[in-house]
Amino acid sequence: MRILWYAGLLWLAGIVLSGCQSGDLNVGQSVINPQQLQVFSLDSVTVRSSTVMRTDSFLTSGSSEPDIAVGYWKDAQTGQQTVQSFAAIDYPANSLVSQTNFRLDSLVLEFGYSFVYGDTTSTFDMNVSLLNRPMPAQYYYNTSSVGYAAKPIAKRSFVPHPFSGTRRIQVRMPDSLAQNLFDKIISGEISNNINLNDFLPGFAITSSSTANTFIGLSTSSTVSGLRMYYHDTDLNRTAATLLFPVTSLHFTKIINDRSGTPLSALKSRSDIVSSSLTNNTTFVSVGSGLQTRIEFPYLNNFFRPENLADLNRALLVVSSVRLDRRDNYPPLSSLQLYQTNNQNEFIASIPGGVSGGEAASGNYYVDPLAILFTDSYTIDLTYYIGQIIKKKALAQPLLLAAPTPSGGYTIRTLLQRSALGDQLKQNDQLQLKLFVTSGT
């Protein structure tokens, strides 16, 4: 039976193939001759861009955010951004109670590097102040505030070394504070988190630097915290340390001030500042509350030539404005387009790719072979633009923003930004490139 089944299948296939070969194979060649088709690109489509505001609060506390940050950034177009951090410490297990053979050496606030953005050649000034009272156990955001002493108890000036391996940032505390804490631990007066935080409520970490630098501080319990250095009074003078780790009770505050800049006109979400007012540049920054609005004002009236066969591909190329790899902090690794309205609200993700099944997004790319420093995002809009050209959809304003990760934004992402050239920006031009097929 199986032999007869295979024979029948082959006989049927023969009929189908012979049917496919029958008829005039030249039919249709007079409509579109493949020999006369040409693929060419158009990059003259008008694209307008502007900067809009989308302020929001983001969680910067808890175990989901392992880093804090400190620093300052000032830009003639976007204004000033100040970053401060606040942290409490935990009481660690130890055997110092009632010991009389130990002597204190120093008390040092230590942090490992997480990241550094901006100027790594200038001196960075870090200030440490005491909090006015213990921080309540609650969620804290980039807009949260806690009170702290106006006068720092300790300062440290240093040149950042983010790629120094295990090197840490160390700020020595006053000897009087160190001795007082040491004595209270020896006496047993401080023996848990409650009486530790009553004595030492926590720290505010700020900067008085004017160089554009952000430093990310790791809060890893193995490398960061308040470290007490002491030694045994025996003949060997054995050295030891006790680390009061930074707890999950820490957060970063971000303060934005756009006064005196073109973007000071952004008062509400519906406000728009044209790229022509910001040196032919727009911005995307989560922590600064900035997004880029993109419009194709004449695409609805796109003239479709008679010899246009089809749109092969539509690419939106968005270039980052940078002079070199050290200019500005690294741009966001990816951007995503959203359809918007007059209030600059997210309506829907823009479909991208030839199938229209995925959201239109672009990853950051640096051309290592370019003579000029070039880096850009390329976003595939073939499906979206094709629908407009075919008069099946209208061109709507779009928002270019940082995609929202499933686990929320990290401190690193909040502080990153992309400065983007508009259509008139020399060397960093915004372009919508259309690749079409036409008959000659």
Interval 149-169: pLDDT, tens: 999 999 999 999 877 667 889
d(CA 274, CA 175) in angstroms, rounded, equals 55
Residue 407 has a pLDDT of 79
364, 321: one domain: yes
Residue 347 has a pLDDT of 86
* 307 band by pLDDT with thresholds 50, 70 and 90: low
More reliable by pLDDT, 38 or 85: 85
Residue 390 has a pLDDT of 84
89, 236: one domain: yes
361, 398: one domain: yes
Structural domain including 174 reads 67-257
In a domain, 61, yes or no: no
Residue 58 has a pLDDT of 92
In a domain, 416, yes or no: yes
Percent of the chain exceeding pLDDT 90 equals 53
- Is 300's pLDDT higher than 90? no
Highest average pLDDT, of 60-69, 140-149, 394-403, 413-422, comes from: 140-149
- Is 356's pLDDT higher than 70? no
| Mean pLDDT on 133-161 | 95
- Is 362's pLDDT higher than 80? no
* 355 band by pLDDT with thresholds 50, 70 and 90: very low
- Which of 257, 281, 310 is the C-terminal boundary of a domain? 257
353, 239: one domain: no
pLDDT, one tens digit per residue, over 331-344 is 888 888 999 998 99
* 427 band by pLDDT with thresholds 50, 70 and 90: confident
422, 276: one domain: yes
42, 101: one domain: no
Mean residue pLDDT across the chain? 83
| Mean pLDDT on 297-307 | 74
Reference 155, options 215, 116, 208; nearest CA is 208
324, 247: one domain: no
185, 282: one domain: no
In a domain, 392, yes or no: yes
Contacts of 31-35 with C-beta under 8 Å, sequence gap 24+, read: 32/309, 32/439, 33/439
In a domain, 203, yes or no: yes
More reliable by pLDDT, 242 or 307: 242
In a domain, 329, yes or no: yes
More reliable by pLDDT, 181 or 17: 181
Confidence (pTM):
0.82
CA atoms within 13 Å, Cβ hemisphere of 399:
26
200, 282: one domain: no
- Which of 225, 257, 289 is the C-terminal boundary of a domain? 257
In a domain, 20, yes or no: no
Please state the domain count of the chain. Answer: 2
* 223 band by pLDDT with thresholds 50, 70 and 90: confident
Say which amino acid occupies 217.
Answer: L
In a domain, 264, yes or no: no
- Which of 210, 235, 257 is the C-terminal boundary of a domain? 257
174, 303: one domain: no
pLDDT, one tens digit per residue, over 363-372 is 655 555 554 5
What are the distances in angstroms from CA 25 to CA 17, 28, 29, 34, 334?
14, 8, 9, 14, 48
In a domain, 211, yes or no: yes
Residue 41 has a pLDDT of 64
216, 273: one domain: no
- Is 203's pLDDT higher than 60? yes
pLDDT, one tens digit per residue, over 99-122 is 989 999 999 999 999 988 888 889
d(CA 385, CA 392) in angstroms, rounded, equals 10
115, 201: one domain: yes
Residue 369 has a pLDDT of 53
Residue 17 has a pLDDT of 36
Percent of the chain exceeding pLDDT 70 equals 80
- Is 357's pLDDT higher than 50? no
Reference 226, options 167, 291, 181; nearest CA is 181
In contact, 373 and 385? CB cutoff 8 Å: no
Residue 241 has a pLDDT of 95
- Is 28's pLDDT higher than 60? no
